[in-house]
């Protein structure tokens, strides 16, 4: 099937963009008839991709569907530096091993959205890792402090007398150099990345390349309805999370965020998303019904058609009928954990849910907060201990989403 003409491609690729710099440049590049190279950079400081990032990944897929090449760059080199401002604990400096491990998971997750064809995967350590101090100094000469201070957050911090590290000033240049090295025709990103994306354009011209077109897209608000979606803020929906987990998280959304989620997280056309939002606003569709539709749609995107309906049924079983999930994971407790023939529930929480209960002390705190149930009954005694017979087969619940069926190793020959 022939590719759409230039006008149609321009309409499709520019749809939903906040910044488009410039549509005339993209028109000229499309008119050349050659496949374009559309770049997206990812920061692997965390191992999971959330549905907020899927907004730009789906736009990148549109480029692929039109015959262009998606260039996915994971910043494994810059991730080893961490947050250049030194002000964020959410972007810690990683070891090379950690950066490589996170990058590998990013590639696997991103390919759940991107097509395997017309895809080029790169790491910026390929070119940044070999730079010496002379290379860095030459790179730094390509911009000025005055130009950098045009960036809104820098200007505000400078005016307030807050420190700005030299390394922060270099970051846009490093990102721009990525574009030079992969000869990017287009770069995509969130609206918070506009300055860094624009930094590549003069650098490419200096290297005899056409400057890249810049397309920015809205940042999806997190589940709290206030801040942008972020794993570090625990207000995210991961694209690889279990279907029931995704469904449950989306059902917790504030009602006022639904129009944004329909527009950005479903993959729907703007008209279809707007129609559902209008139905909710007019009262033709109840907010809870719209939220269920949203949750089913997103789950289907990442788990396949029908997964959303199955997750909805499981959600109703657990959260409306207050039953245990149909697939409660078993956690084996070694008999060595018993003291005088018993083991405290606080200890069992740490064994069953180490990601959220890292210690016995934290297990005690969870019980005191009233969020722990044993076989459906709230545990109100922080010192409660179970004997072997009571423990084996018991269902332990922490909050709404953490369940475990306990099995005692060594009981009845087990």
pLDDT of residue 123: 85
Among 155-169, 341-355, 387-401, the range scoring the smallest mean pLDDT is: 155-169
Report pLDDT digits (tens) over 238-285.
888 888 889 988 988 888 999 999 999 998 888 899 999 999 999 898
pLDDT of residue 413: 41
- Contact call for residues 29 and 86 (beta carbons, < 8 A): no
Is the confidence at residue 169, as pLDDT, over 80?
Answer: no
pLDDT of residue 79: 67
Among 159-168, 209-218, 377-386, 398-407, the range scoring the smallest mean pLDDT is: 159-168
The two three-digit tokens of residue 112, written as one number:
């759940």
d(C-alpha 16, C-alpha 27), whole Å? 17
Q: How confident is the model at residue 24 (pLDDT cuts 50, 70, 90)?
A: very high
Report pLDDT digits (tens) over 61-110.
999 999 999 999 987 776 666 545 444 444 556 677 776 777 677 777 88
pLDDT of residue 47: 60
pLDDT of residue 232: 66
Nearest to 218 by CA among 256, 189, 239: 189
DSSP single-letter state for residue 372: E
- The residues, ordered by sequence, that sit 6+ positions from 46 with a Cβ below 8 Å of its Cβ are 102, 231, 232
pLDDT of residue 159: 79
Paired residues of 238 in beta bridges: 50
Mean pLDDT in residue range 356-365: 88
pTM assigned to the model: 0.70
pLDDT of residue 135: 85
d(C-alpha 178, C-alpha 120), whole Å? 14
pLDDT of residue 395: 85
The two three-digit tokens of residue 264, written as one number:
């950005």
Could you count the other beta carbons within 10 Å of the beta carbon of residue 99? 22
pLDDT of residue 91: 52
Mean pLDDT in residue range 137-162: 74
CB-based burial label for 247 (10 Å; 0-12, 13-18, 19+): buried
What is the share, in percent, of the chain residues with pLDDT greater than 70?
87
pLDDT of residue 26: 95
Is the confidence at residue 295, as pLDDT, over 60?
Answer: yes
What is the share, in percent, of the chain residues with pLDDT greater than 90?
28
d(C-alpha 382, C-alpha 349), whole Å? 11
**Could you give the domains of the chain?**
6-217 (3.40.50.620), 243-320 (1.10.240.10), 330-413 (3.10.290.10)
Pairing, β 69-74 against β 342-344: unpaired
CB-based burial label for 353 (10 Å; 0-12, 13-18, 19+): buried
In the Cβ-directed half-sphere of 262, how many Cα atoms lie within 13 Å?
23
- Contact call for residues 44 and 191 (beta carbons, < 8 A): no
pLDDT of residue 210: 95
d(C-alpha 75, C-alpha 40), whole Å? 10
Is the confidence at residue 5, as pLDDT, over 50?
Answer: yes
Residue whose pair of structure tokens reads 């997964």 in the numeric block: 307
- Contact call for residues 407 and 330 (beta carbons, < 8 A): yes
What's the mean pLDDT when you consider all of the chain? 84
Could you count the other beta carbons within 10 Å of the beta carbon of residue 116? 7
Nearest to 352 by CA among 406, 276, 275: 406
């Amino acid at each position: 099937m022939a590719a759409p003409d230039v006008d149609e491609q321009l309409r499709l690729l520019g749809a939903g963009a906040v910044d488009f710099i410039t549509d005339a440049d993209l028109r000229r590049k499309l008119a050349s008839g050659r496949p374009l190279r559309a770049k997206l950079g990812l920061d692997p400081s965390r191992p999971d991709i959330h549905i907020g990032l899927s907004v730009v990944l789906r736009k990148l897929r549109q480029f692929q569907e039109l015959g262009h090449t998606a260039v996915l760059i994971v910043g494994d080199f810059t991730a080893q530096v961490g947050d250049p401002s030194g002000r964020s604990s959410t972007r810690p400096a990683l070891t090379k091993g950690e950066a490589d491990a996170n990058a590998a998971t990013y590639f696997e997750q991103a390919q759940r959205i991107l097509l395997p064809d017309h895809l080029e995967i790169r790491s910026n350590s390929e070119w940044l890792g070999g730079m010496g101090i002379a290379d860095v100094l030459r790179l730094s000469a390509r911009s000025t402090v005055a130009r950098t201070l045009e960036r809104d957050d820098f200007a505000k911090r400078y005016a307030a007398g807050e420190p700005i590290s030299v390394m922060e000033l270099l970051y846009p240049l490093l990102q721009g150099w990525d574009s030079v090295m992969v000869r990017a025709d287009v770069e995509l990103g969130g609206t918070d990345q506009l300055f860094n994306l624009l930094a590549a354009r003069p650098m490419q011209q200096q290297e005899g390349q056409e400057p890249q077109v810049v397309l920015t897209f809205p940042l999806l608000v997190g589940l709290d309805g206030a801040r942008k979606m972020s794993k570090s803020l625990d207000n995210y929906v991961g694209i690889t999370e279990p279907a029931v987990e995704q469904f449950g998280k989306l059902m917790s959304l504030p009602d006022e965020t639904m129009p944004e989620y329909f527009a950005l997280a479903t993959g729907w056309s703007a008209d279809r998303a707007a129609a559902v939002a209008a139905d909710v606003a007019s009262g033709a569709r109840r907010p809870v019904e719209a939220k269920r539709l949203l949750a089913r749609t997103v789950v289907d995107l990442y788990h396949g058609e029908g997964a959303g309906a199955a997750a909805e049924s499981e959600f109703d079983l657990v959260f409306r009928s207050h039953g245990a999930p149909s697939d409660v994971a078993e956690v084996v407790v070694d008999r060595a954990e018993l003291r005088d023939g018993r083991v405290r529930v606080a200890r069992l929480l740490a064994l069953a849910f180490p990601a959220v209960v890292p210690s016995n002390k934290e297990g005690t705190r969870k019980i005191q907060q009233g969020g722990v149930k044993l076989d459906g009954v709230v545990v109100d005694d922080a010192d409660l201990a179970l004997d072997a017979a009571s423990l084996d087969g018991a269902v332990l619940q922490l909050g709404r989403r953490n369940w475990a069926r306990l099995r005692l190793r060594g009981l009845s020959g087990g």
